[in-house]
Chains A and B, each alone.
Chain A
Amino acid sequence: CNEEFTENPAIGALSDEALQNAQGVDLLLTGAYSALDGVVNNNGGNGFAVSPDNWWFDVMSDDAHKGSTDGDQADLYNLETYTFTPANPYILGRWEALYGGVNRANAVISVIESIEGEDFSEKLAEARFLRGYFNFELQKIFGNPAFISAENYVNSEFNQPNPGPIWDQIEADQQFAIDNLPDIQSEPGRPTSWTAKAFLGKTHLFQKDWQKAFDLLQDVVQNGPYGLNDEFVANFRAGGENSEESVFAIQFAADDGLSYNGNVGGTLNFPNALGWCCGFYVPTQDLVNAYKTGADGLPLLDNYSDTDVANDYGIESDEAFTPESGPLDPRLDYTVGRRGIQYNGYGINPGKEWVRNSFSDISGPYLPKKNVYYAGDDVNMGTGSWGQQHSGVNYNVMRFSGVLLMAAEAAAELDDLDTALDYVNQVRERAKNSTYVQAEDGSPAANYNIETYASFPDKEFAIKAVRFERRLELAMEGHRYFDLARWGPTFMKNVIEEYIANETQTIPNFGPKVSPFKEYMVIMPIPTTAIDLSGNILEQNPQY
């Protein structure tokens, strides 16, 4: 027996040295992209909380209810009713998933730094773009996240303080990505310099740097490779994935056994019908009301909720129901599944039968549509037990209509009302010219009426119209909570209070069960477990 007897290699493992080359960089970079779906190793929080589509933040906004019965996913109930605590496992789940992503990007950055004599600047730019993306998500959700640098990563110094926003670090990554990414990528899942530009624009928008945001976003609009799809719904169909409207999308794919690359965090968000389960993530009456239009085809910005769109709340499927006959924005029926309307190719929605919650629960009569793969889009249908709900529908983190509306918002804030009007109308024009959801006889399924704005009379109106358009266009895509939050704590509080009052008219148990929204809730608390494991280096956000 000698030295060799007590030397045993780790079979099947890649050592640090084995990864210090071009192939290693590619492998680790792919690993960093893989964290985009939110599914990471050793995640301590709730597994449904990790989806990059931020679905449960819609539940915390006025766009969606949790769905299912109140007791199902009690932690989500606490979030929707604003009774959550820092120990809520949803909050921890998303936090850990995002830091997993940050550090997988750091792993790429550090391995590139350790290789001499080769130019990996494009790969480095991809890694820094991803880190910028993950950090942006952390920033918008938590307000005061810790920044973990590549140096911290190499030295395993992960317990960094969180003294405030990390916008500067996000901007630096995004600027590096703009400067070093190519204009065109062969694979649609990889960002280009245009993608990075749009994201830097959004970063500035979130900081209310209106001019910087506008300059970047207008550049993307005018000179970038993007455009609007002819069909609004193409953004959610297999055929429309990675179309010219997609600026950056999580590339969900529904194959390989248990659909590891599907939207695992979105598993619950299917109707409780058609062999699916769970019935979570259902739109609110308030959101449906927002799609009402006037005789002029324009939204009712101030009084959309004075009367409700006809709904089947409290009505069983075998009882008669007359759907809304008033004018509606056609995007409603591509966003919300409601009784009497074709549901993503699976037939006419029968109402209550497909809804999981009961009439005493806080969730209403509607179903989600954008995240549910269409009948016939088999490529997006997952495999495996509940895995068939690991949908392959790509999630557009940013699509071009969103870029237009961000640019319009910056323009409106800068009092450039013509540009704002132009961009908003491009979005509305596309909605108007899209094919409408049809009844079984081929006629429009409802009284659809949508027109463009003739003008924006003043800045205040323009801002209101842009914000409203953002809700209509991007509802149920995980943006609403963060938009409300960045528009201000008081603004958000007012919106939520009004929403709770409106919603309670339809769902009587909603109001009594919801606690008041507090202004500090525009950012989430730092998870208790995160603070504990940091040895109290992380500091809790104010008032939590």
Chain B
Amino acid sequence: GSQSLYAATVEESYTQETISGMVTDQNGVPLPGVNVFIKGTTVGTQTDFDGNYSLDASAGQTLVFSYVGYKTQEMVLGDQDVVDVTMQEDASQLDEIVVMGYTQQTRGDVTGSVASVDISEATKAPIVNAAEALQGRVTGVTVQNDGSPGSSPIVRIRGFGTSNNNNPLYIIDGVQTDDPSILNSINSNDIAQMNVLKDGAAAIYGARASNGVVIITTKGGGYNMAGPSISVDGYVGFARAANLPDLLNPQQHGEMIFQSLRNDGATVTHPQYGSGANPVVPDMIQGVPVDVTVPQGGTDWLDEIFRNAATYNTSLSMENGNEHGKYLLSLNYLKREGIQLETGYERATTRLNSEFKIGDKVRVGEHLNVSFSNTRSNNQVNFALRASPLLPVYDDNGNYTGTYAASAGLSNPENPVAILERASDNYSKSLRLFGDVYASLEILESLNIKTSIGADIQSYDGRFFLPKNPEHSEPRSTNTLTEQDSNNYEWIWTNTINYNNNFGEHSINAVAGMEALSQRGKGKGISRNDYLFESPDFYLLSNGAGAPIIDYAYDGTSTLFSIFGTANYNFAGKYYLSATVRRDESSRFRGDNKSDVFPSFSAGWVISNEDFYPVDALVNRLKLKGSWGELGNQTLPSDNPTINISNLNNQYANYAFSGSGTPTTGAILSQVGNPNLRWETSVTKNIGLNVGMFDDRLDASVEVYEITTKDLITRDNSLISTTAIDAQAPLVNLGSIKNTGVDFSIGYQSQASSDFSYGINLNVSHYKNEVTDLISEFQTGNTGFRGGAITRTSVGKPLSYFYGREVVGIFASEAEVSAAADQGFTTPADGVGRFQYADINNDGVINDEDRTDIGSPHPDFTYGLNLTAEYKGFDMSAFFSGSQGNDIYNYQKVFTDFPLFFDANRSARVLDSFTPDNPNAALPALSATIRNNETNPNSYFVEDGSYLRLKNLQIGYNFADNIVDKLRIQDLRIYVQGTNLFTITGYDGLDPEIGSFDSLTLGVDGNVAGGGLLTVYPVSQLYTLGVNIKL
């Protein structure tokens, strides 16, 4: 930057002395570019890169230090000639430097939609994954988290712009990826800044930017620091499951079974509950080969699989720098035991960021992050919900209990505790290195060039042993060892040239560059059966007696080549213009579709800086901004989607023409290509208004946007439908979606001067999602559910609305059955106690034609509220987030409310089943079997998914200086913290925060083969006690 000096008009008669000093931030990091001037004069200077300044002044004069993002400080000069100043960050952070990828801007200059996370506030909660810091804290961004250890949250920016990959692009220093798991590899304490580009501002990332861009910059030390700055942070705590549902106890379970049999007109008898008039809970499990005592009151299997799980986290970071170099070194160890037995996540990371000056013109630096993690994930909620309450975990001899024989009437879930404990030697270890090396050269004062090579290298090693389970009624006859490994490499080479200059009141900042990116993923999984010993010492693939099986193997590459440019112009701090253009060429497409150009424009007008604007207005800052941009999405689940791919495949393609012996090798088509595939493009329009009041202590912004995405890429399952070849459906350009929405935020920060200060931050987001064009009449979501797809997508409606029959009530009498549309009951009596479905097409018959739109997974709005307060040494922060007006399809109820597994346990909801005495029941009459299609998609399963959750509450205490000084440290803070302390919701499921990886199947709570949905997991509460020390 330029070091323009204020003209010194020396006309004072005082004795002038040369005053010098250093300006640092709260962490002792030198601040370059701080304006220093003598109050009431035009004499001034700026600090240099090392934070040093010097100017001539006289005693009694007042030095004013001002810098964007920091509070202005005044110092009255005495007789000293060295004045060092520590700048305090300005709470409003209005003028902070925002890292926007290839460029930086101060917040006040930003004309696009760029949201920043208050990192210090967000990282107060004990987060594992940096994406968790976004949750509820940034307007227009939703984050959903699977409760299982080590999983990656799902981040969605401004609704659902695509039916394909909705992951935003993450940029971590020099590394780009749309793989959200990379955020698991970062120590959140290392993050300096986290910004989200939501609109055309993202266009600088062209073909990868349509889902938004999350830019993370890490801390890096500072030049000319007085000494090393060392922080130690740590917490310990524990997590536990909350909101566990009520299941039946043995007596209720027996009564449910007897009532079901009675209703069916069947003989009322049960291997455990006897044949009497009423069920009798046995003392011992009947009809099994071992002695099993039935526990008093039965077993709550959910209690058995969950535990109070310990959490530890320790971080150490050191920053320092002299005039020739600077660095940050950090270390972090995190252990998060899972709330289910034998699950957990353990991670160690280290980061080294450094930069060196070579002469005055050249800087060379690097970021390097190394992380090693072990994930042990397992989820046995489904079995725990189904396991018989009669069975204890262990039999009388201390072995695991099981269901032994189907005739024992214990259904057939495996013992969930046995599964968890037997998996204790499994692991998924991952070593990940990423970072970049760069060099920059200052050609002229206003012209810089930079080259950077980033890399992301990931190596994965998984081992899974599946032992025998002799107590199970469907025991495995052999054990299996599975070994998996994969290696992913990405490199990215970026060259930019940056021009930055001021001409009077005109200021220009322009960047041009080129970038090449290459990703390669390679991996395999191998299994082998029949191990003599079930001990980890023996787990080598070579020790199995069965033939080795190659479960899968893959090797794929994709590349992207881009050129880009951006220019920002600003006149007198009033008028702002930005233009960006990027051309991308992707290996995933063919011919003319390989490359495209993505432009964007934005403009801003700071009304409050106009001469006509009253200086003393209540609104001290008023800014209007607008943007338009075109963005792309070339992220696909296939590296070669344009060609037909056939494979040799020993599972699906071979045939033994002689009925035995080695099968003959065959080939099958495994993927249908689409040579005409184009990438998705989004056009985003954004208009925003920023308002600052009370000296910017109140900060409000509202943004209105429209995002139109055309050529949505998705697999077209209606093209490769059930009458087609058994290959993966081609990726096609499916249609168009329009998202319109409003992001609103308001924050107030009280004056910091008094003992008591407080802050409030509220953000609210609303979007409306509408499909405007589709290549077929409709598309179904995942078809793997009982009764087929639950969701459907069609023109004029939002993505993935729920589609099924509408339950209008429960038939209470034969007369009601006879009067209603024909539901296929043999006699009217058969219909009593069953669901009555609406006759949507009014043809007098209920069938598949009577399915209709029965709910939407899209919320009316989502919100986050952060409250902070400080009093003397104490600080408090409370963070709420919520969602309003979305529906959830509680598919889990198929298993917990209906006799899919008759002898299995059920939700306590079945106590409210229809009987002639209870005609207004919630559930239809009990039966041993599923009647009247009641588990097929219907409105019984659709629930209001609104919730309000206290995500985080923290109370801290900063020890006073006298104590801190005695300990010879700079700062000491301790805190207690609770996560997810309460949730207000009417939703019956384990957790109303439902995520999905499949945009055509949104809002469905339940596991299903074929994937795309998060696993069902209860809310986990975390309580921690932590300490922050600065040495």
Q: Which residues of A contact B (CB under 8 A)?
A: 1, 5-16, 18-19, 24, 27-36, 39-44, 68-72, 74-75, 77-78, 81, 83, 85-87, 89, 92, 95-96, 99-100, 102-104, 106-107, 146, 148, 153, 156, 158-160, 187-190, 238, 241-242, 249, 251-258, 260-261, 272, 275-279, 352, 355-360, 379-380, 383-388, 392, 394, 508-509, 512-513, 515-516, 527-536, 538, 540, 544
Which 3 A/B pairs are nearest by Cβ-Cβ distance? A30-B666, A71-B902, A253-B656
| A533 close to B658 (CB less than 8 A) | no
B557 touches A (CB below 8 Å): yes
Q: Which residues of B contact A148 (CB under 8 A)?
A: 723-724
CA distance A5 to B594 in the complex (A): 12
Candidate in A89, A146, A532 with the most chain B CB atoms within 10 angstroms: A532
Q: A392 contacts which of B267, B411, B558, B659 (Cβ < 8 Å)?
A: B659
Assuming A13-B640, A72-B901, what are 5 further A-B pairs, CB within 8 angstroms? Answer: A29-B666, A187-B658, A189-B656, A260-B650, A272-B473
Q: Which residues of A contact B904 (CB under 8 A)?
A: 71
Q: B406 contacts which of A15, A187, A279, A384 (Cβ < 8 Å)?
A: A279
Q: A249 contacts which of B466, B653, B659 (Cβ < 8 Å)?
A: B659
Main SS at interface, chain B: loop
| B406 close to A14 (CB less than 8 A) | no
Q: Which residues of chain B in 628-663 are interfacial with respect to chain A, using CB atoms and an 8 Å cutoff? A: 639-640, 643-663
From A13, which residue of chain B is reached at the shortest CB distance?
Answer: B645
Q: Which residues of A contact B903 (CB under 8 A)?
A: 69, 71
| A71 close to B659 (CB less than 8 A) | no
Q: How far is the CB of B561 from chain A (nearest CB, A)?
A: 5
Q: Which residues of chain B in 245-274 are interfacial with respect to chain A, using CB atoms and an 8 Å cutoff? A: 261, 264-267, 269-271
CA distance A100 to B649 in the complex (A): 15
From B847, which residue of chain A is reached at the shortest CB distance?
Answer: A544
| A12 close to B722 (CB less than 8 A) | no
Which of B222-230, B340-348, B684-692, B712-720 forms contacts with chain A? B712-720
Q: How far is the CB of A266 from chain B (nearest CB, A)?
A: 15
Q: How far is the CB of B163 from chain A (nearest CB, A)?
A: 16
Q: Which residues of A contact B665 (CB under 8 A)?
A: 27, 30
Could you list some 30 contacts between A and B, CB below 8 A?
A: A5-B516, A6-B586, A15-B646, A39-B651, A40-B652, A41-B728, A42-B726, A44-B1010, A68-B406, A71-B411, A72-B901, A87-B848, A96-B726, A158-B724, A187-B658, A253-B663, A257-B529, A257-B548, A275-B477, A357-B406, A383-B529, A385-B466, A394-B659, A515-B826, A527-B788, A529-B789, A532-B780, A533-B717, A535-B718, A540-B847
Q: How far is the CB of A42 from chain B (nearest CB, A)?
A: 5
Q: A74-B899, A159-B723, A383-B546 are in contact. Are A27 and B648 (CB under 8 A)?
A: yes
| A386 close to B657 (CB less than 8 A) | no
B721 touches A (CB below 8 Å): yes
| B722 close to A272 (CB less than 8 A) | no
| B587 close to A360 (CB less than 8 A) | no
Q: A360-B267, A508-B267, A516-B826 are in contact. Are A242 and B658 (CB under 8 A)?
A: yes
CA distance A356 to B478 in the complex (A): 21
Q: A12-B554, A100-B725, A385-B480 are in contact. Are A34 and B529 (CB under 8 A)?
A: no
B786 touches A (CB below 8 Å): yes
| B901 close to A71 (CB less than 8 A) | yes
| A99 close to B557 (CB less than 8 A) | no
Candidate in B476, B724, B826 with the most chain A CB atoms within 10 angstroms: B724
Q: B655 contacts which of A30, A81, A359 (Cβ < 8 Å)?
A: A30
Interface bracket on B: 35 or more
Q: Which residues of A contact B477 (CB under 8 A)?
A: 275-276, 385-386, 388
Q: A6-B587, A261-B655 are in contact. Are A534 and B646 (CB under 8 A)?
A: no
Q: Which residues of B contact A (CB under 8 A)?
A: 261, 264-267, 269-271, 405-407, 409, 411-412, 466, 473-480, 514, 516, 518, 527, 529, 546-549, 553-561, 585-587, 594, 639-640, 643-670, 672, 717-728, 730, 776-778, 780, 783-784, 786-789, 792, 826, 847-848, 899-904, 928-931, 933, 936, 1010
Q: How far is the CB of A206 from chain B (nearest CB, A)?
A: 21
| A188 close to B659 (CB less than 8 A) | yes
Main SS at interface, chain A: loop
| A42 close to B727 (CB less than 8 A) | yes
Q: Which residues of B contact A384 (CB under 8 A)?
A: 478, 480, 529, 546
CA distance A538 to B724 in the complex (A): 13
| A189 close to B725 (CB less than 8 A) | no
Q: Which residues of A contact B929 (CB under 8 A)?
A: 70-71, 74, 77-78, 81, 83, 513
CA distance A225 to B792 in the complex (A): 54
| B667 close to A158 (CB less than 8 A) | no
Q: Which residues of A contact B409 (CB under 8 A)?
A: 69, 358
Q: Which residues of B contact A104 (CB under 8 A)?
A: 668-669, 725-726
Q: Which residues of A contact B557 (CB under 8 A)?
A: 8, 11
| B405 close to A385 (CB less than 8 A) | no
Q: Which residues of B contact A544 (CB under 8 A)?
A: 847
CA distance A290 to B931 in the complex (A): 32
Q: A13-B640, A13-B646 are in contact. Are A159 and B721 (CB under 8 A)?
A: yes
Q: Which residues of A contact B722 (CB under 8 A)?
A: 44, 92, 95-96, 99, 527, 529-530, 533-534
| A385 close to B718 (CB less than 8 A) | no
Q: Which residues of B contact A357 (CB under 8 A)?
A: 406-407
CA distance A9 to B649 in the complex (A): 19
Q: How far is the CB of B349 from chain A (nearest CB, A)?
A: 32
Q: Which residues of A contact B529 (CB under 8 A)?
A: 257-258, 383-385, 387
Q: B657 contacts which of A5, A42, A106, A190 (Cβ < 8 Å)?
A: A190
From A509, which residue of chain B is reached at the shortest CB distance?
Answer: B266
Q: Which residues of B contact A187 (CB under 8 A)?
A: 657-658
Q: How far is the CB of B518 from chain A (nearest CB, A)?
A: 8
| A512 close to B264 (CB less than 8 A) | yes
Q: How far is the CB of B543 from chain A (nearest CB, A)?
A: 16
Q: Which residues of A contact B559 (CB under 8 A)?
A: 5-6, 8
Q: Which residues of B contact A96 (CB under 8 A)?
A: 722, 726
Q: How far is the CB of B494 from chain A (nearest CB, A)?
A: 12
From A392, which residue of chain B is reached at the shortest CB distance?
Answer: B660
Q: A6-B585, A357-B407, A360-B266 are in contact. Are A252 and B659 (CB under 8 A)?
A: yes
| A6 close to B643 (CB less than 8 A) | no
Q: A7-B587, A33-B666, A261-B663 are in contact. Are A386 and B726 (CB under 8 A)?
A: no
| B271 close to A31 (CB less than 8 A) | no
Q: A34 contacts which of B561, B653, B780 (Cβ < 8 Å)?
A: B653
Q: How far is the CB of A13 from chain B (nearest CB, A)?
A: 4
| B653 close to A258 (CB less than 8 A) | no
Q: How far is the CB of A69 from chain B (nearest CB, A)?
A: 5
| B561 close to A258 (CB less than 8 A) | no
Q: B653 contacts which of A30, A42, A255, A532 (Cβ < 8 Å)?
A: A30
Q: B723 contacts which of A43, A352, A530 (Cβ < 8 Å)?
A: A530
CA distance A101 to B721 in the complex (A): 14
Q: B725 contacts which of A75, A106, A278 (Cβ < 8 Å)?
A: A106
Q: Which residues of A contact B847 (CB under 8 A)?
A: 86, 540, 544
| A532 close to B788 (CB less than 8 A) | yes
